[in-house]
Amino acid sequence: MNKNLIIIIIISLTAFNLPAQTNLRWQAAYADSLFASAQYFDAITEYKRLLFFDKENKYSFSGNYKIGLSYKKGGKFDDAIKYFRLAEKNAKRDSGKLKAKFQIIRTNILRGTTEIALNHLRQLAKELNDSLSLKKIRYWKGWAFMFSDKWDSAKAEFTRINPNHELIKICDNVINQKYSVTFAKLFSYILPGAGQFYTGHYLSGLMSLGMNVLWGYFTVKAFIADRVFDGIVTGNLLWFRFYRGNFQNAEKFALQKNIEIANEALRKIQLEYKGEKP
């Protein structure tokens, strides 16, 4: 028989014979068992039931906190933040409030609302001054910067924690692998197709170079032959179009490559990094 079903039967059989607080302990234990077995949405239901019957608010912090964690595990970040805020509000100790605040920050990092996460961290930095808390603040600032593709800033935060921090090497790898968007665009201004070659898009680079040479030749030829109108039309409508598209593509390709590099680094961190993650 399913272990969770057995727990439900036991709770049902004993509920009418046990004191209210004992029933709540059974309910909390059952919700915790669902959470531990990664049945997060079932756990949410049971934690909400626990909070409904908890008239003395004994589980108001832990219940809301676990609901927040369950929603976070399920990718429901807005709901997670809602319940972490309730946990913070109902925390009886400063340590509980701080625990909930950091979860709000971590969830904002995951959902991509980086500036909100950074604002929370800046506020905490004003309120806390012990070295352990400041290290934690810098740590999550580093993560926030990584998720917002600001790897130089992330590296600076991790360096302030420890010059040999494991995540510094990852930041360096991303920084070194990234393409210069400005260089790709400028290179294409000077030599059409060069920016595409720089980012590894060789066929696009050849096509861009060829079309610019072709229409540049026809434009110059028209002016030499005193066909001014043809030269203006060819230059403005065709040559300039391909020339502009050339450096716009170079910029787009460099940005795309950089996104791929950053996403691959984040994926690798999520799979291989053993430290605490958002």
| Torsion-angle region of 179 (φ positive above 0: left; ψ -120 to 50: alpha; else: beta) | beta
Quote the tokens at residue 62.
């832990």
Determine the pLDDT at residue 257: 87
Examine residue 137 and state whether it is found in any structural domain, yes or no.
Answer: no
Report the number of distinct structural domains present in the chain: 2
Last residue of a domain, one of 37, 60, 78: 78
pLDDT in tens, 60-106: 999 999 999 999 999 999 999 999 999 999 999 989 999 999 999 99
CB of 230 within 8 A of CB of 219?
no
The pLDDT score that the predictor gives to residue 231 is: 45
Q: Is 204 domain-assigned?
A: yes
- CB of 63 closer than 8 Å to CB of 54: yes
- Is the model's pTM score more than 0.95? no
Please identify, among 78, 111, 130, the residue that sits at the C-terminal boundary of a domain. Answer: 78
Give residue 197's Cα distance to chain centre: 30
pLDDT at residue 71, rounded to an integer:
96
Q: Specify the pLDDT at position 85.
A: 96
CA distance 126 to 134: 10
Does residue 175 contact residue 229 with C-beta atoms inside 8 Å? no
Task: Please check whether residue 241 lies inside any domain of the structure.
Answer: yes
Task: Give the integer Cα–Cα distance in Å for 276 and 173.
Answer: 20
Q: For residue 149, tell me if it sits in a domain.
A: no
Q: pLDDT tens across 208-259, in order?
A: 655 555 545 445 555 455 554 444 554 455 555 555 666 677 777 788 888 8
Q: What are the pLDDT digits (tens) for 18-76?
A: 455 678 889 999 999 999 999 999 999 999 999 999 888 999 999 999 999 999 999 99
Domain end position, chosen among 25, 59, 78 = 78
Question: Is residue 152 included in any domain, yes or no?
Answer: no
Q: Give 140's pLDDT tier (boundaries 50, 70, 90).
A: very high
Expressed as residue numbers, the domain containing 33 is: 1-78
